[in-house]
Amino acid sequence: MRGKGEAESFCSCSHGAGRVMSRTQALKRFTVDDHARATAHVECRKDKGVLDETPAAYKDIDAVMAAQADLVEVVHTLRQVVCVKG
């Protein structure tokens, strides 16, 4: 990202996508198999201990970026390859 220096947003923008559901909701809604499918392209834990971090528990990053197009310019898009938790 490259900031556009928008004074009305204090020259700031989102630092991530943010959650779409609570950790408790994610644990109730998703299975280990759901998480394994969602993270098939990522080297990470695929067990019950990380279900609260499954990608579907977060907002769609493309929608978040589109909502702040007046604040930032997309310079490069990264693809997650590894995730380390606990």
Split the chain (86 residues) into runs of 10 and give each run's mean pLDDT: 90 88 97 97 95 94 91 90 86
Global pTM value: 0.81
| pLDDT for the residue numbered 39 | 96
- Locate the DSSP E strands across the chain: 2-3, 72-73
Helix (H, G, I), strand (E, B) or coil at 36: helix
| pLDDT for the residue numbered 14 | 83
Return the active site residues.
15
Phi/psi for 50 (5° steps) reads -125, 10
Helix (H, G, I), strand (E, B) or coil at 27: helix
Residue (of 50, 40, 34) closest to 84 by Cα position: 50
